[in-house]
Every structure is written in structure tokens, then in C-alpha cells.
Copies of this chain bind each other. A is one copy, B any other.
Amino acid sequence: MNKVGIVSFGITKFSRDDSKIESILLKSTKNLFDNCPNLSKSDIDAVLVSTNNNSKYLSAILSEMAGIQPKLAHTIESLCNSGTNAIVSAYSYIASGLVDVVLVSGAERYDSPGQILEWDISRGEFNHPIFWASIFTKSYKREFAVSDEDLAIVSVKNHRQAQNNPNALSKKAYSLNEVLMSKKLTDDLRLLNCSRPCTGGASILLASEDFCKKFTNEPIWISGIGQKTISAGFTKNTSDYMESTRLAASSAFKMSNYSPNNIDVAEIHDAFSICEPMALESIGFAEKGKGLDLIKKLYEQNNFKINPRGGLIGSGHPLGATGIAQSIEIVEQLNGNANKRQVDNPKIGLVHNMSAAATSSTVLILKK
């Protein structure tokens, strides 16, 4: 299998702007070109777009706007983990030897059709993701004797960390009390426990080992890949709420020969507060029921190795761009370019990206 490296990236600010989907795709692509002086349009063999937008043929349209004439071009959709699905596709195109250089561009608008689970009519009118998050929260609180206050730390931490992310949607830090007093949306969830849909784009460039050299002296390598889809409806998912995450992480660690102890920095899919402790446990960073203890400890130590850019809660959640933005954060961390967000000399990082009540998960392990 050919080695695959990440050699450039580009990103937009996450906002509530009314930009067209094509403009968002082009903006982060342009930023990617600006970040890679040796890259020319003719180097790019494939253009993969990640989005939930209903517009068609976006890969061809982005290619035309950017002056690229790729071999391969199509759109990839898997709700909130579309971005990492597209990265894994790009990986396999290169690893198989079919192509050498792939541009992956993710974009979403604040009004994305992917944010309503219209496909899951089994839950009647409760088709907003907040309802599964609410059920997860109620169940976790009961099982592990956890309070709303315990959980609120996730939001406090991630909003604080987002203050050092110039592209984040969240512009201010919140106290524990502000989270606990924010607008009540369901029995167990308040506004500041939720990530917010937003407008944003993120692009990443992958290359085969031989081609990496043209673009950078220090590519970041994709060392482990794990993916799992367990169902399309979370009601099946009773014994382990994040079984897909557990299985994806296990595959990724096996492929990379690393374990949770080796991970220096991680992006975790905190669509809602409850997702962060659950995911930390399913990946193996904490024992079952101990995720919040770890989060609290890190918060008190001002150690931001979990979600340094502020997670989805702090950064915002432009669905098709999220998995790519998470991967970019790990690349910046491993390159030592994360400025105020920089974790101390990380060598190995992890990306966790999931869809729809963790019915589908991706885990990527990246290394210097």
C-alpha cells in the first residue's frame, strides 16, 4: 500500500454568513493553494467535495472555478462525518495507485438540509439531533450519577479553547453558571450544551509519498483509519451508545500499531456536551463513566489536548466541513503551527468524527 501524506490545507472562518456553497468551496481551496507555493492546478488528479448541500455536480463546478481538470471528481455525503469519509476515499485513491494528488474540499451553509434527521421517521416529530442527544444525556446521568454541572464543564472548556481559534464561530468564553443558565431546550440540554450549525469550508490536500516531496518537507502521514456504521437509527444502539466509535477506534489503533496512550492531541466530535465524555470512553482515553473526570482534570490543568480548536461546540459545526477542519487542526498541531492552541510537542494525533447519534463513526490517526 502506498503511504499517503497531508501536504496542504485551507480553511474559512466559521460564521452565520449567507454565502453560496460554491463560494465557500472555492474560498478554502484558494486558501489551500496560498498555503502551498509549489502546488499548481495541473498537479491535482482528483477533486472530492464533502457536503450535505442539495446542489449537484459540485466537484466539477469547484474544479472549473479553480481551474483544475481532474480525473476523478464527485461529491460524498454521510451527514456529519462526510468530511472524514471523503478523506478516507482520497486515501484509498492514492494508496491503490490510481492517482497521486487529491484535493478534498468540504463546505456547508448554516441552513444545511443535513441537520434535520428527516430520514428517521421512526421518531415521529422528534427528528432534530437534540432529541437523541437528550436521551443520551438522561441515560448517562442516571447510569453514572452525573449532574448537569458536571456536564457543563465540556461547554466551558471548549468555548474557552475556541477563544484561541481565529476561525471559531464562538466569540466568547462562558462560565459554568452561564452554561447552566442558558436557554433550556429539552429536559437535559441547554443552548450552550449544543454545537451550532454554521457556514464554513475546509480543504485538505493528500499526496502519495513520492509527490509529497514536491509540496512540503514535512508531510503529516495518515497512519490509522477506522470506520464503522452500525445502523441508521440509534434505538438499536443500547448496550454501548457509541459502539461505532469503539469499533472505528479499535480498527484505527490496530492499523497504526498505536494505542490511546500514544495520542498527544485529539479532535473529538462534541456535537453536544454528552458526546465528548462518551467518545473519550469509547476510544479508550478514559474508563467507562470516567470521561468527565478526565475532562475536568484537563480543564483545571489548562491542558487543551482534547479539542484544542474548541471542538464543534466552540468552533461551530458546518457538517460537510467538520471532519476536514478537525483533521486540519491535528495537522497544525503536529506541525507546531497552532499558535496559542499549540499542545506541547505532539507526535501523534487522533480525529474522531461521527454521524447521527453515533450510528456511524470515523477515527483517523495522524503522525509526523
The chain A residues found within 8 Å of chain B, CB to CB, are: 1-2, 47, 52, 54-61, 63-64, 69-79, 82, 85, 88-89, 91-98, 113-114, 118-119, 225-233, 248, 251, 355-356, 359-360
Contact = CB atoms under 8 A, between A and B. Distances in A.
A92 B85 contact: no
A55 to B, nearest CB: 6
A140 B57 CA distance: 26
B72 A85 contact: yes
A71 B359 contact: no
B56 A114 contact: yes
Given A79-B56, A113-B56, A227-B71, A232 B64 contact: yes
A48 to B, nearest CB: 9
A58 B117 CA distance: 12
Contacts of A359: 60
A360 B60 contact: yes
A71 B228 contact: yes
A298 B52 CA distance: 45
A80 to B, nearest CB: 10
Contact of A56 (B58, B98, B119): B119
A71 B113 CA distance: 24
